Structures are given as C-alpha cells and as structure tokens.
Structure 1
Amino acid sequence: MTNPSLIVFTDLDGTLLDHHSYSWAPALPALAKLRAMGVPVVLASSKTAAEIAPLRNEMRLPHCPAIVENGAGLLPAKTDPDETGEDYARLRAALDTLPADLRTPFRGFGDMSPQEVADITGLPLDNARLARARAFSEPGLFDGTRETLQAFVAALEAKGLTARRGGRFLTLSFGGTKADRMDEIIKEYGNPTSIALGDAPNDVEMLERADHGVIIANPSGNALPLLAGEREGRILRSEKAGPDGWNEMMLRLVSTLTTSK
C-alpha cells in the first residue's frame, strides 16, 4: 500500500448524509476527486458496522476502514461486519444491574422494536433493523431530570461504561472515541495530513485532533461553540448544510492543500 499524502475522516448523519433524506449525492464531485487522488475517506459515525458496510460499498470506499458506533469499534477495510456483539451483550447486562429509578428513564435501541427505532430516527424499517445490530455500544433516549441523568452517568462510570451525547442520542460504551480510532488509522497509513469533518458534539475531539477540520452547518441541530482550532485557523465552518457543505468545503480545502505543496 502506497502511503497517501492526505486522509479524510468524516461523520455521516448531518455531515456527509443529509439530516432528513440521508442522501449523499451532493458530495459526489468531492468524493470522485478524492478517489482519483487516492485519498482514503474514512467514514466515522455512530452507525453500526451493519449500517456502514453497505454505505461504504455504495460510496466506492470498501478499501478504506470505517469507525463505527462513535469510535467504540472499527470496521477494517474489505471486511464484513462482525456480528458477535460480545461487548454489546456485556454492556446490556451491566445496564440492567442499575437501580430501577436510574434504569427506567433510559430506553436504548435494545429496549425498542425496529419500528420504534424507525419512528424515532426517520430511518426506513430495514435500516432501523441494521441500526439495532449493535456490537459495541448502545444509543438511547433519557427521559429524566438533570440530577437523575448525572446519577445515571455516575453509576455507569462505576461499571466502566461511558455516556456521550451525540446529535440525538445518549450513547453508552466501554470507551473509545472517533479521535482514538482516527489516531490508529493515521498511523497505519504512515501519518499523512488529516482532514476531519463533522457537525455534532461527538465530532469535536476528531475535529480538534485532525490537522484540518471542517464544521458542517446543521440547521437541525445545535451549533457547536467556537473551538480552539478555529482560533488557530485549523478548523473552518461551512455555510451550506450537510453534503452540499461537505462537497464545497472539501473541494476548497483539497485545492488549498495541494496548491500549497
């Protein structure tokens, strides 16, 4: 494998995928440009390996690894999803040992039917089934007070679990972030210049860790606060949302980086 000069890490929902339609068609020109340049594009998402694998194939990226379940796991290049889910089984078992007053307010995907997941996410039913094929983490909704949530998180930490807020869900795992997995992949590719794109709080570490970051506008979510990398000029913000913003900013950034070399 020839080490590339650039590598791209990208969130999916609200970033490369439209928040409502889940389309990535507007980003086709930039994706084609990166493919022609031999730049790996690593999908990094809260989605499961079962969800990401077909997307990765559709985008003609099977030769690239993917970061799954918010960094709790990794889908290697040219590999089918591992459906053993041992980490997930341990997580669910630990979750169910919590006192009822802490456990009841949290409804994870494992507590919902495929139809409920489809209703909450807006995914088609078949896609919702893939979203429930967890291997490393458990997203869900927490319906309780701030104090109860704090107690819930503390109880999870005592069991070695972390809770991270994403765009819509509170996601539980045994640790690992998108940034952690990003570091591993960058090293594997010989430490090329890294670019990261995202729109939500669970993307911040990845955006800050990359050499260059892009915050994609998401009118459907809460705007990210000013990041340290923005003050340094390493992180930019798009004006356009979703894949339209992704395409515009990616083409601009690649042009700037390749011209400056």
Structure 2
Amino acid sequence: MTANIDLIVFTDLDGTLIDHDTYKWGAAQQALTALSDISAGVILASSKTAPEVSALRTELGLGSWPAIVENGAGLLPAHVDAIESTTQYGELRRILDGIPTELRDLFRGFGDVTIDGVVEMTGLSYDAAALAKQRAFSEPGQWLGTDSQKSEFLERLTAHGVVAQQGGRFLTLSFGGNKVDQMRRIIETHHPKYTVALGDAPNDVAMLEHATFGVVVANPHRPPLPPLQGEAGGQIIRTTAAGPLGWNTAILDLLDRLELH
C-alpha cells in the first residue's frame, strides 16, 4: 500500500455492501473492480467480529487493507486473520449480568444464546453464526422492552463505562470506540485525497459525515436515516436501490464525479 492515494472507501456491510436478506455482495462487483483498477483502498467497517470480517475480506480480495470490526471497538490489521485475545468481552458480560434481572432479561445478546440462537437472530449459516459468537470487544443483541426501560438499562450500563450503538439489526454494547474513531486513524496513516463512506444505520452516521462524500444506502427493512449534516450541500447522497446494487451505483457515480478512472 502507498501512504498517499487518491481514494479510500469505508463501507458498512450488512444492508450496505451485503444484501440484508441473502448476505450476498455480487451486485457490487463492477464497482469493486473499478476501485481495484485505480488502487483505491476499501475498508470494511462492521459490527461483525474479526473472524467474520477476515473471511469476507479475503473473499473480496481486500486483505492488504485493515478492517474496522465490532462497530469500531477493534481494528483488524492488514494481512492478519485474528485479533490477539482481550479481556474486554468477559468484563462486558460480567457488567451486563450485574444489571437487575427485570432489565437484564430484556436484552438478548449473542452470548445469551447458542449458535443456533444466533442463526435464528441473524439468518446467518451455522458456520457464520459460530464466527459471530467469537467476540473480543462488544456484545450485540436484541432489545425486547420499552423505550423507557431501554433508557434505564443504558443508564445503568453507562455508570460502568459501557456505551451502546444502534445498528441496522442490533443494539451493540462496548467500552467505547466507534467506526469514525478508527476511520480517522486510517486517514492519518494513508492521507487519501478523497474519502467515501457508505452505510445505512445510525451507527454509520458519524462515519458518513466525516467523509468527503457519505452515501446513505437505502434499506427498506429499517426507517431511513434523518437528514444528515452536509446533505443539503451534496456531501451526503442517498441511493434509490438497496444494498449492494445501490452501493455499486453510488461508487460508479462518484468515480465519474471525481474523475477517477
């Protein structure tokens, strides 16, 4: 990799580069090839674990670039398949289990269910769900209670230094760090002329607003994001097509706009 390049793309996965229902990315192949042809960087930025992202990064041919994992709580270096073990996940689960039962039972995390349970929650294959349970930094889960109960739940966690980020499917708990924090680190290292970020969920907003251009990828499975900072001026754009098809169109249009061929 060169320290100075024209473009780095930061992309969410589920509902963005990857189809919400099928978990396929083939509809984005044309744009991915175009990015490869100009030696652009492509950084996967996801709530997925390092083992999950590593496998996908290899499949996409992006192993020479780092990847943002577990909603930015960790960074998977280039050419590395796994992150060294940490104690963060165990500590997070300990704090979570200390929450009063009437609130704790309203959060169904990946650590609360078997691999089959993760399959049920996500629609992943059994093998992919097993990778999703190999967590180092964060705990995604489903909130089963009311908004007021959720506020009390999060207030109790905040007292122990735990923060929450709402993604397209899950509420994810961690000790901090988000996608834009890792994005800044990568930009400081490689000094790209332009950056593009693509996402569909609230936990992508800071990343979208920090990029030269942010792309809100349509996702009919969730409410659309509200108007974002920079949207009126054209820094933020929205796709009509959902998932990888929308991703593909947006990237090709931006490459034309930036005259990067």
TM-score, scaled relative to structure 2: 0.96
Instruction: Answer whether contact 2:13 2:44 (CA < 8 A) is retained.
Output: yes
Cα shift at 1:99: 1.7
Distance 1:217 1:141 in 2: 22
Tell me the residue number matched to 2:9: 8
Instruction: Answer whether contact 1:216 1:242 (CA < 8 A) is retained.
Output: yes
**Superposition pairs for residues 108-187 of structure 1, below 5 Å?**
108-187=109-188
Identity percentage of aligned residues: 53
| 1:28 maps onto 2:29 in alignment | yes
What is the letter of the counterpart of residue 204 of structure 1? V
Distance 2:145 2:245 in 1: 36
1:155 counterpart SS class: helix
Distance 2:82 2:102 in 1: 35
Distance 1:134 1:161 in 2: 16
Tell me the residue number matched to 2:56: 55
Distance 1:211 1:4 in 2: 14
Instruction: Answer whether contact 1:199 1:224 (CA < 8 A) is retained.
Output: yes
Cα shift at 1:83: 5.5
Distance 1:38 1:179 in 2: 22
What is the letter of the counterpart of residue 231 of structure 1? A
Structure 1 consecutive aligned stretches of length 4 or more whose deviation exceeds 2 Å: none
Tell me the residue number matched to 1:192: 193
1:229 counterpart SS class: coil
Q: How many residues align?
A: 260
> Which sections of structure 2, spanning at least 5 residues, go unmatched?
none
Distance 2:97 2:86 in 1: 17
| 1:46 maps onto 2:47 in alignment | yes
TM-score, scaled relative to structure 1: 0.96
The verdict on how the C-alpha distance between 1:192 and 1:136 changes in structure 2, with shifts beyond 3 A counting, is farther
Instruction: Answer whether contact 2:166 2:201 (CA < 8 A) is retained.
Output: no
Tell me the residue number matched to 2:205: 204
> Which sections of structure 1, spanning at least 5 residues, go unmatched?
none
Instruction: Answer whether contact 2:138 2:174 (CA < 8 A) is retained.
Output: yes
Tell me the residue number matched to 2:92: 91
